[in-house]
Structure 1
Amino acid sequence: MMMEAPGAVQFVVPRREVTDASLVESWTNSQAYSDIFGLVQAFNEAAKGKACQKDSEGNSEETRHLVDLLSKLDKWIDEIPPIDQPQRFGNKAFRTWHERLEMNAMSLVDPLLPDKYKDANKEIAVYLSGGFGNATRIDYGTGHELSFAAFLCCLCKLRVLKEDDFGSVVCRVFPAYLDVTRKLQSTYNMEPAGSQGVWGLDDFQFLPYIWGSSQLIESSGRSKIEPSSFPDPKVANFNAGDFMFMSCIDFIYKMKTGPFNEHSSILYSISGLPTWSKINKGLIKMYKGEVLTKFPIIQHFPFGTLLPFTPKRQQ
């Protein structure tokens, strides 16, 4: 996995390149795709058998800063309450929240960057801003989640985040990101972007199911959870604080009513697999097919210097 930026870099504001479905193959052969999928795999390995971290003790200064950044975004939601409006979905107060994010994105990432990479803030800020939903449509989905993963990938390529940080990023930073996105979804009644309804894995997320299933591969003792038991709301709620996969199931129960096997049929079918390892491998394959190679998602993805739309470099 290429996880380092080249020496002399001219950073740019990322722009979209996949303007036609015929360009999806160019995307899957690009350096950007290789780096992002490499990050998914690296974080998947780093999460294996590890519970979510409840605090930042032992984390690097950089991962602590990321948690603080997300905490600030969380507080902004409290400062910008939903407005009274006729329609049920898509509260327009989200646009005010997102405008504040866009205006402050570069200053939010500045403290993370070493002096030689300060100019990267205009590039990285685009991925950060894109990670929390669309202000026009007031929706959120796996494309926005992908943007936040790209933000983390850029920090890895600049060596702001190092391999020793991966466990903390996936088990502490990403759960904090999930907390913010869930609060946005419930506070502003955001629409799911590109949801496949009962035929999709989840209305909003995908990566926490991959990394969350990896957390459960080597779980044991009190934390030993069999795949067949995760649809049980009590099991999900009890373990939501320790494992991302379980927090996703718990959130579904908070947002939806009715039988689990009806509103979450794909997840219910997954619970029939014998091991978390099989679930994990299947989800990675599904992520490539349902997110990373889907034109409606990738058409919105912007490319720059750190994540270029150029052929993958040969190792």
Structure 2
Amino acid sequence: MAEESLKTTTNNEGPKRYIYSMSDMEHFKVSPVKKDLLSFITALGRSTISCSYKFDPLNPLTGLSPGMASLHGSLHAIETTYLKELPPDESLRARFGNPIFKQWHNRLTLRCFNIIKCMMDIHAEYVAPLQESKDWDESILESCADKGAAAATMDVTQEQVENYESLVDMKQLRVIRELRAYFLHSFGHEVRLDYGTGHECSFYVFLYSLCKIGVFGNIPKTSTPSNEILAPVALSITTQYLQVCRGIQTDYFLEPAGSHGVWGLDDYHCIPFYIGACQMQNEHYAGDYTPSSIHNDTLINSSEGDAMIYFQCIRYIKSLKKNVPFFESSPMLDDISRLNQWSKVSGGLLRLFEGEVLNKKPVIQHFLFGDIFQATWEPSRTSEREAPQHAFNNEVTVAPWALNSASRGQAAMPPTKAPWAK
């Protein structure tokens, strides 16, 4: 990941959009920040291949820095408490978008400042004063996770948020505002009631920003994090983030944002498949599992499968699309399972992510840029259109290959193939 000094923008309210037109999109495609983000996500995946770290779902804090342990605690608290306290309104039978998600998102919005502030304070206490990275005692990490959980569950009013902000110096406030914006965009849209790869990507922009300011534990922060630092974030933090997202996707019936996901890899996600395919190349798993192992339901549903992100993703898809042959519900993943090497799977998925996410304007136009994740061009517009103030018309989404001459009078279309799976 290229190292750049942080510049100061003129916007004191936080990061903003820079992509409105195809001209802006072309600037982004060749920008240092796009290259940097892709390099960061590539490094996250590759870190899981050659490191000694082995993810243990029963001990998810192992290997994390204190700041990242705090984030893990916050995500875990969001997963276990928010949905329990704000269950979906079962009286509403819309195919997509339970409006209680707006309350869920509003709660996160109010508590987000404390979540970020807690993480930054813990980083300043434990990591920033050091000159080199270290392995952290489990009791310290558990204490940090508990503090993160407390920050995520503390009742906060808008007035209190404003009071908290007034007590923070401007430099730290700018950082918190930028991180908060990326974090809030990571869990779907509270008006459109949808979630897609753009929201997922915002979470990795959030992680990229944390890495760039040293919260991963990369001491000094200008250094490139080692695989031993990156791998716990790639596996443990990603797994906990997915737990939150799967909860809100299934309980609130969030609409898949965009179209590719419905008949591609997954209705909502892309990056975890890449990280998971890299993980399977580690010596802990190499030789024991092949891409075709996804058809072994006993393995997929076992406690052993809990530790492998790729298998977690397949398990989730199969749990949602029961009583449907896998080759029909997930033709691209079925196609990929015929490859004989995980390296081909991970390489193809990374190219898919760049081509179908980072290079697509409908996804990237909602990106926000600030002092850390920084745009280097002048946007074609300076004012933003208002977001829709109502949910989209929620029709049942049908995969194109499922259409036939008897349905809507359209001809059948072939299933999507993974272009590299030959």
How does the TM-score come out when normalised to structure 1?
A: 0.92
1:154 corresponds to 2:209: yes
Map of 1:21 onto structure 2: 22
- Residues 114-153 of structure 1: pairs in structure 2 closer than 5 A: 114=124, 117-153=172-208
Radius of gyration: which is bigger? 2
Asked if 2 retains the 8 angstrom alpha-carbon contact of 1:141 and 1:195, the reply is no
Q: Is the 8 A contact 2:183 2:203 kept in 1?
A: yes
Q: CA deviation at 1:212?
A: 0.3
Distance 2:369 2:102 in 1: 24
CA distance in 1, matches of 2:33, 2:77: 29
More helix by share: 1
Residue in 2 aligned with 1:97? 104
| 1:43–1:170 contact (8 Å) kept in structure 2 | yes
Match of 1:243 among 294, 301, 308: 308
- 1:300, CA displacement in angstroms? 0.8
Tell me, in whole angstroms, the C-alpha distance in 1 between the residues paired with 2:315 and 2:34.
31
- Alignment partners' CA distance in 2, 1:123 and 1:6: 13
Contact 1:213 1:245 in 2 (8 A): yes
Deviations 1:88-122 (A, max 9, x none): 42111111000111122222101222486453101
Helix, strand or coil at the partner of 2:375: coil
CA contact (8 A) 2:78 2:244 kept: yes
Q: Secondary structure at the match of 2:2?
A: coil
Structure 1 contact 216–225 (Cα < 8 Å) conserved = yes
- 1:244 and 1:221 map into 2 onto residues whose CA distance is 12
Alignment equivalent of 2:319, drawn from 254, 266, 277: 254
Q: Tell me the TM-score normalized by structure 2.
A: 0.69
Unaligned ranges ≥5, structure 2: 125-168, 219-224, 378-422
Candidates 353, 357, 361, aligned match of 1:295: 361
Question: 1:71 is matched by which residue type in structure 2?
Answer: H
Aligned-pair identity in percent equals 33
Q: Which runs of no fewer than 5 residues in structure 1 stay unpaired?
A: none
Within 5 Å, give how 1:206-217 maps onto structure 2: 206-217=270-281
Distance 1:197 1:7 in 2: 36
Give the count of matched residue pairs: 311
Deviations 1:240-274 (A, max 9, x none): 31111100000001101301001100001101111
Structure 1 residue 124: Cα displacement: 0.7
Match of 2:265 among 195, 201, 213: 201
Alpha-carbon shift at residue 220 of structure 1 (Å): 4.7
Structure 1 outlier segments of 4+, above 6 Å = 7-11
Matched, 1:269 2:270: no
Change (3 A) 1:160 1:117: farther
Question: What is the match of residue 57 of structure 1?
Answer: 62
Q: 1:79 to 1:40 in 2, by over 3 A?
A: same
Paired position in structure 1 for 2:40:
39
Q: CA deviation at 1:304?
A: 1.0
The alpha-carbon deviation at position 6 of structure 1 amounts to 2.9
Q: Distance in 2 between matches of 1:66 and 1:212?
A: 21
Residue 16 (structure 1) shift? 1.2
1:13 positional shift: 1.0
Secondary structure at the aligned position of 1:230 is classed as helix
Q: Distance in 2 between matches of 1:199 and 1:108?
A: 35
Paired residue type of 1:97:
W
**Aligned residue in 2 for 1:278:** 344
Relative contact order higher in (CA < 8 Å, ≥ 6 apart): 1
CA contact 1:45–1:214 (8 Å) conserved in 2? yes
Contact 1:4 1:156 in 2 (8 A): no
